[in-house]
Copies of this chain bind each other. A is one copy, B any other.
Amino acid sequence: MSQQINVGLLGWGTVGTGVTKIFQQNAGLLAQRTGIPLFIKRIADLDLKRDRGITIDTGQLTTRAEEVINDPDIQIIVELIGGIEPAKTLILKALQAGKHVVTANKALLAEHWDEIHSTARKFSQEIYFEASVGGGIPVVQGLNEGLAANRIQAIYGIINGTANYILTEMGRGQSYSSALARAQEKGYAEADPALDVEGGDTMHKLVILASLALGKRVEPQDVHVEGITRITDQDILYAREEFDQQIKLLGIAKQAPEGGIQVRVHPTLIPAEHLLASVQGVYNGIYVVGDSVGATMFYGKGAGEMPTASAVVSDIIFIARSIHMGAAGKVPSVYYHPQKSIDDLKIEPVGELISEYYLRFNVKDEVGVIAKIAGMLGEQGISIASVIQKARHQGNMVPVVIMTYEAREKNVRKALESVDRMPFVMQPTLMIRVEKFDE
């Protein structure tokens, strides 16, 4: 058995700095919980001059990641560079060099799950990635271990704090653009917010959760993705005042009623009294339904220096304990494994979804428009539950909101294609799916 465990850090940005802070602040606690002393031996970053508000022995620092990976005293490599390259190459090199790996890199895991997991297996190394989804929330472990007895029936995740912050602010009456600007001011959103507001980040995290929970490798291209950029504060107001619902950007992976699984990311109407509706601002919530446990939820901060560092360090402790026990890498974590699927479930095309739909038509304020829309919906067998036409403040364009009864999405899409070709339609129709929860 080793006398101590040494960790090497690749990437000393926000989260990496948080990790070094935890090692300094809670050193005794980490050693106690690991059962063996635990050190950060080397840190690689291209920018070593920036003031990070922490004092580190400069001998630990290097600009060359390979030096860290090839240090024979280091057993655990922590990758916090982000993005695909050079992170991917460095992780593969670390695994090949016989190092266990901790990463927070959701994009990389979502895109290259098979290669990374099969390399870890081939070289009998552990790969842990709690921080890749939900920041400090221990949901990866929850799915892998805490709920391991369950066949997971559904996951509904608010897993992008930026999008949730924007929707929360819009619920307080701000426009999309001013909510986005405020998110950028506060540092919650990047200068280019596309990955957050268009759903790509949620998709990456959903791919990881779904692959773990459903026991099947879900590919990014399997996921139907829509963002929040077309939602208005008026939609949020209508949802709340007329339907007692909230609009949340959800990543959903669930068993389809007709067999197969659904994996989709889109703005979703959910009941205002549902627990997920209480997840406000930059917080994340992952609502998981298992066949034995029923409904559970994991909640916390989905991003930020210290919450994300919390997850990274917890992974380090876990692997260090395994090394200390002589167990690390010994038994493949079967249910991580790409080629093994619990069932040979098919991904259901989103057109097969059966849902109620919130439809906002943006039409000229003319007599007979609602009748024409209703007729086109009716041609596709879609029944209308309610119609709202109130505001008339956008020149001669008025929003007409229709809530449908349950319908199949491909029929709704056909109807909307017909409607959107009509001369009275001034902007493409907005469609938001309505989620009902069995539990």
Contacts and interface: CB of A to CB of B under 8 A. Distances in A.
B149 A138 contact: no
Assembly of this chain: how many copies? 2
A298 interface: yes
A204 B300 CA distance: 26
Contact of A342 (B32, B312, B321): B32
Most B Cβ at <10 Å: residue of A136, A293, A294: A293
A145 interface: yes
A148 interface: yes
B137 A296 contact: yes
A82 to B, nearest CB: 19
A330 B149 CA distance: 24
A30 interface: yes
Contacts of A333: 35
A299 interface: yes
B293 A306 contact: yes
Interface in A20-53: 22, 25-26, 28-30, 32-35
Nearest to A136: B293
Given A149-B310, A278-B275, A307-B292, A332 B141 contact: no
A313 B325 CA distance: 23
Nearest to A317: B148
A142 B146 contact: yes
A314 interface: yes
Contacts of A428: none
Contacts of A318: 145, 148
Interface residues of A, number: 67
A32 B322 contact: no
A299 B156 CA distance: 14
Given A145-B314, A278-B278, A314-B147, A300 B293 contact: yes
Most B Cβ at <10 Å: residue of A28, A279, A290: A290
Interface of A: 18, 22, 25-26, 28-30, 32-35, 130, 135-138, 141-142, 145-151, 215, 275, 278-279, 290-301, 304, 306-307, 309-314, 316-318, 321-322, 324-327, 330-335, 340, 342
Given A138-B142, A293-B300, A297-B297, 13 more contacts: A33-B334, A35-B333, A136-B290, A136-B292, A141-B142, A147-B310, A149-B310, A149-B316, A275-B275, A292-B307, A293-B306, A296-B299, A296-B300
